[in-house]
Amino acid sequence: MIAGALCLDFVNTLDDRFSSEPKELLKSYIDLARFGEDTGILTAGQVDRLFQGSYTSPQAAKEALSSAIRLREAIYAVFVAILNKKPVPAPALLTLNQYVQSAAQHAQLAPAQPGGVKPRFEWRFDFLPIGFDAPLWPIARSAAELLASDDLQFVRACASATCQWFFLDTSKNHRRRWCDMTKCGNRAKFRRFYNRKRRAST
């Protein structure tokens, strides 16, 4: 997970979005539950329960996956409009708001883990009993928080034309261009080096 915001990592689960063959990384409900585990939204135990549930109630799991993809595409539509300085499409914002509202119904305040000097509370979600929609609540909330924060101006798309993954540029000078320096960044560096060499030899 490299985007620096849960909702942006979620948008990136449609890989190669701009190619003629985008790669869907959420092919089954199990992929969605795994995303939840990889990002720390869900515990291993919760993921196990969702796995089991998706075998006993495959139809409900399938619907939850479609709902997740609806949320993802709404988040994408909102952020890509902001990136391109275009008006945010009203239907996408409406959809996102529906998920944000359903997330709010399951959110509760709890004291943050001790360790910090300042007392602080944080939002937690009541995952008991865990349902198929549970991973969507923190994702919707993450999108809402980012949209309402000063960090919104630092949302970027990777400068690689074939990648364009979204990320939050938390670098000091806010000039990060690549989703991941070791991936797209190095590829671009290599291409520049290769082109220079080729030009030099002709």
Which CA distances in Å does 109 have to 16, 106, 112, 125, 161?
Answer: 38, 10, 9, 9, 41
74 forms part of the interface with Zn ion (CB under 5 A): no
Nearer to Zn ion, 152 or 161 (CB): 161
Contact pick of 50, 75, 184, 188 for Zn ion (by CB under 5 A): 184
- Smallest distance from Zn ion to CB 13, Å: 14
Report the residue from 158, 166, 167, 188 that binds Zn ion according to the rule CB under 5 A: 158
Binding to Zn ion by residue 47, rule CB under 5 A? no
Span between the terminal Cα atoms of the chain, in Å: 41
Residue 155 near residue 79, CB atoms below 8 Å: yes
Q: Name residue, tokens 């928080």.
A: 145
Question: Which residue among 35, 76, 99, 165 contacts Zn ion (CB under 5 A)?
Answer: 165
| Phi, psi of 108, rounded to the nearest 5 degrees | -140, 155
Which residue's CB is nearer to Zn ion, number 18 or number 55? Answer: 18
Binding footprint of Zn ion on the chain (CB under 5 A): 158, 160, 163, 165, 179, 184
